[in-house]
Amino acid sequence: MASTLSVVWHCTLLVLLLAQPTHSSTIQKPKDATAEQKPLPSSSHTYIIQTNHLAKPSQFATLERWYSSMVATHSPRAAMNSSSRLLHTYGTVMHGFAVRLTEEESRRMSSTPGVSGVYRSRMRYTQTTRSPGFMGLHEEFGAWPDSELGDGVIIGFIDSGIWPESASFNDTGLGPVRSTWKGTCVAAEGFNASLCNNKLVGAKVFAAEPGGALTPRDKVGHGTHVSGTAAGSEVRGASLFGFSRGTARGVAPRARIAMYKACEANGCTESSIVAAIDAAVSDGVDVISMSLVSLRRRRPRRPASNPAFHDDVLAVATFGAERRGVFVVLSGGNSGPEASSVVNVAPWMTTVGAATTDRVFPATLKLGNGAVVTGQSLYPVEAQGGTNMVPLVYSSCDKYGMIPDNVTGKVLVCKVERNYVESGIYAQRAGGAGIVGVQSEARFRDAVTARAFTLPGLTLSYIGRTKLDAYMSSVPYPVASFGFSCDTVTGENRAPMVAGFSSRGPNSVVAEILKPDVVAPGVNILAAWSGDAPPSGAREDSRRVEYNIMSGTSMACPHVAGAAALIKKRHGDWTPAMVRSALMTTATPLDKNGRLILDNGVGYRSNYGVDDMTCDDATTLAAGAGLVLPRLAMDPGLVYDLGTQDYVDLMCTLNYTTEQMRRFVPSMSGCARTLPGGVGSLNYPSLVAVFDSRTSARTLTRTVTKVSAQAETYNVTVAAPSGANVTVTPTTLVFRRQNEKKSYSVEFRSNAVMPAGAWEFGHITWENRKHQVRSPVAVLWEN
């Protein structure tokens, strides 16, 4: 998942248990359990076969019969083996099916008439008492009362399931779901359909647990957490071991929740994800939230390997959702701060990075020389005066190194990043006195992920670890003592900052489309939790909690899903692109004190001879347009709209073939036009000009739609990137009526010699006394 900590996802590839061939169907219990478990040859894999339904031969009465004929023709062994029948069929966001094939069979299938694409199903991984208020949400004024708290809007979550008994999913005061809703709650193992209510209005399963259980119930906690973050009902007195105590509620507390379980303890197969998206759109959700990424957190860090949009089945499926008016929001990944590590980068996806809030859980480590290093901890035993001084020793912190002779009575300083709570459990069993972890990509402790240790322990930032290392190398027998106040401190730290782990741009597929789009709270977020999952995600952790504190872009993503639900409640006729535009153009690049948001990332600056002990302002490649502010997004003034034809023009500009474009639009016959000015002229709320050895000037165009009711005049202000002149024409836009459109052009002209790969940033703002419509601007020198 896209959460960095608390939940451990093992690296074994899931071979999904089997489904009956139904349209966007949930998995059904196979009749022949023995046959279900018969393995296919080790060379076989799950493939997603995308079809052009318009090409179905007339002799087949249904698409399913056509699909079965294909499998029988190109994989006779698969057709006869009950463990290889159709795993899923798709019929809403795209058409096709999933089946296990060998590589040779998949090649033969790709040449079958009517087959648009063959994708090997990859694994994807899942990656709030304070955060709604930090985003500017208040009960008395603004987005909450204006949107009736999102009442009636339905958010579909593609995730690990849900814990329906949580108080965050109670439906007190909620009326029935709308009559057009087609979703249902399935009765499955350990899950009674009667557990659903007017809050939890749908629950379906597309992935079996490793032991074979087919249930929407959440076994790992992630799906429960993100659902509560976006749309949890109000719960007073929520906390984790007393930390972050207060009233927990989602960003859209009266929105409805529909869970589509496509993930289990090992991850999420793309074949299941596409089936879940297909079902969610067919059921009638308004928003889809997916805290999923294509790769786990990587060590060592490296750029993301995003495929071209036509080779990315998730891009194809989400395009189908967007065409049907569903707003789709995804996490950007936890592989920061490496450049080009952001994932989920198609322009019809809203991609979210993670930022801190103004809440920390401080704990201290007093060193033998009297220096004090501060980190964060959720260890629930108070020690205001400090523990006894005990020896400090470096350790690999793996279970095999926890030998009593080496750890008894000592504090272990972990040399390798891992699940520190799990390491602490092993250390505690071996007689260890404590544990110190480090989050090496976090410069300051404000953005360090707090962990619920079972023995004295804390997590340090890069700077904290540097101080600790300096002390330990200076004395032969280093010692330290812990200090725990068990406090939740708010309002004293600089926030937001972009989290060090949050994946960074530029977009590795199309540099002219800036990603991430926005950031939202994603560090130390309190939300509902599964009763089947330990708070640390460690198998050895026997504790169970009702609420848990987690970090990751997984936690940021549902904040934006909730904000989108508020907008959809007030503006039900807006397109997904209009919602995304409203979120981006009203986001703030400033922190709570009016200073630029800082970048808390460590690890890339030393490559340029810059001291990692200082902090930079976050660029658009880290923070996108800035921190989402739902109150302003409800009334953005102007929006940048996009429709299917705009995306088709983009694909034509990218020189996609007709066959590749038919994966998105089956009726496509060829390109009629391209975007004037190139890819950068897609009507996106941000702008990127790319200079190369042949071009020192670029002109991009944009069209804005007035969504406010009154006649208005907007004037432009420009903050040009260093090394470029920026000219906007015209400089004034006059609107007389709602939904009126106006276009403008932006000329970028390089005025400096810059090194290849250099980026500079600025912004363009259309404003009057009531509205500020701000678009991030970036310039790239490729030569």
Which are the catalytic amino acids?
159, 222, 554
Nearest-angstrom CA–CA distance, 466 and 373: 10
Q: Is residue 701 a contact partner of residue 743, using CB atoms and an 8 Å limit?
A: yes
Vertex 136: Cα angle to 253 and 138 (nearest 5): 55
Tell me which H or E stretch contains 459.
strand 457-460
Q: In this structure, what token pair is assigned to residue 111?
A: 């040449």
CA distances from 581 to 153, 222, 626, 656 (A): 19, 28, 13, 26
Nearest-angstrom CA–CA distance, 496 and 760: 22
Nearest-angstrom CA–CA distance, 504 and 521: 16
Number of helices and strands (H, E) in the chain?
Answer: 18, 40
Rg from Cα positions in the chain:
26
Residue type for position 127:
Q
Torsion, Cα of 334, 339, 341, 342 (10° steps)? 90
Torsion, Cα of 134, 135, 139, 140 (10° steps)? 100
Helix (H, G, I), strand (E, B) or coil at 234: coil
Q: Alpha helices of 460-602 — where are they, by DSSP H? A: 462-472, 553-570, 576-585
Beta-carbon contacts of residue 292 (< 8 Å; ≥ 6 apart): 1, 2, 124, 125, 126, 127, 158, 159, 263, 268, 273, 330, 331, 344
Q: Is residue 70 a contact partner of residue 109, using CB atoms and an 8 Å limit?
A: yes
Tell me which H or E stretch contains 115.
strand 115-120
Residue linked to tokens 């026997």: 542
Residue linked to tokens 């709320």: 685
Residue linked to tokens 């007035």: 706
